[in-house]
A and B are shown apart, each in its own frame.
Chain A
Amino acid sequence: MSPVLEAQGLGRTLPGDPPVTLVRDVSFAVAPGTFTAITGPSGCGKSSLLYLLGMIDRPTEGALLLQGENVAELDGDARAQLRLEHFGFVFQFHFLLPEFTAIENVMLPMRRLAKLKPAEIEPRAMELLATMGLAGKETKTPDRLSGGERQRVAIARALANDPMLILGDEPTGNLDSVSSANVVDVFRMLAHEQQRAVVCVTHDLGIAAQADVRISMLDGRVVKVEEA
Chain B
Amino acid sequence: MIDRLLLLLDIAIKHLSRRKRQTVVAVSGVMVGVGFFLAVSALMIGSQNDFIKTLIDAAPQIIISDELRSPAPQPGVRAFPGSMIAMHGYKVRTEVRGLKNWPAILRAVNAVPGAIGSPSLTGGVTLRVGGREEALGIVGIDPSVETKVSTIADKLRVGHLRDLERVQGGIIIGEDLAQRLGLGMGDVVGATSASGTTRSLRIVGLFKKGQVMMSSSMGYVLLREAQSMLGRPFIINRIGVKLPDPYQADQISKQLEGRFGYKAESWEDRSSDFLALLVTRNVIMYSVVSAILLVASFGIYTVVSTSVSDKRRDIAIMRSMGFSEFDLQLIFIIEGVLLALIGVMCGWLLGFGLMNILGSLNFAVGGENQHVPLDRTPRQYAIAAAASLFAGGIAAWLPARKASRVDPVEILRGAA
Contact = CB atoms under 8 A, between A and B. Distances in A.
Given A92-B416, A99-B18, A108 B3 contact: no
A111 B7 contact: yes
Interface string A77-116: 1001111110101011101111110000000110111100
B415 interface: yes
A56 B412 contact: yes
A100 B408 CA distance: 20
Size range of the chain B interface in the assembly:
20 to 34
B18 A87 contact: no
Interface in B13-33: 14-15, 17-18
Contact of A84 (B14, B317, B322, B409): B322
B326 A56 contact: no
Contacts of A76: 324-325
Interface string B301-329: 00000000000011001111111111100
A97 B408 CA distance: 15
A98 B313 CA distance: 11
Given A51-B409, A57-B409, A91-B416, A109 B321 contact: yes
Contacts of A84: 321-323
The interface size bin for chain A is 35 or more
Contacts of B408: 56
A68 interface: no
Contacts of A93: 415-416
Interface string A49-76: 0010010110000000000000000001
Interface string B83-123: 00000000000000000000000000000000000000000
B412 A91 contact: yes
A108 B324 CA distance: 13
Given A51-B409, A93-B416, A112 B7 contact: yes
Interface of B: 3-4, 7, 11, 14-15, 17-18, 313-314, 317-327, 408-409, 412-413, 415-416
Interface of A: 47, 51, 54, 56-57, 76-77, 80-85, 87, 89, 91-93, 95-100, 108-109, 111-114, 118, 157, 161, 169-170
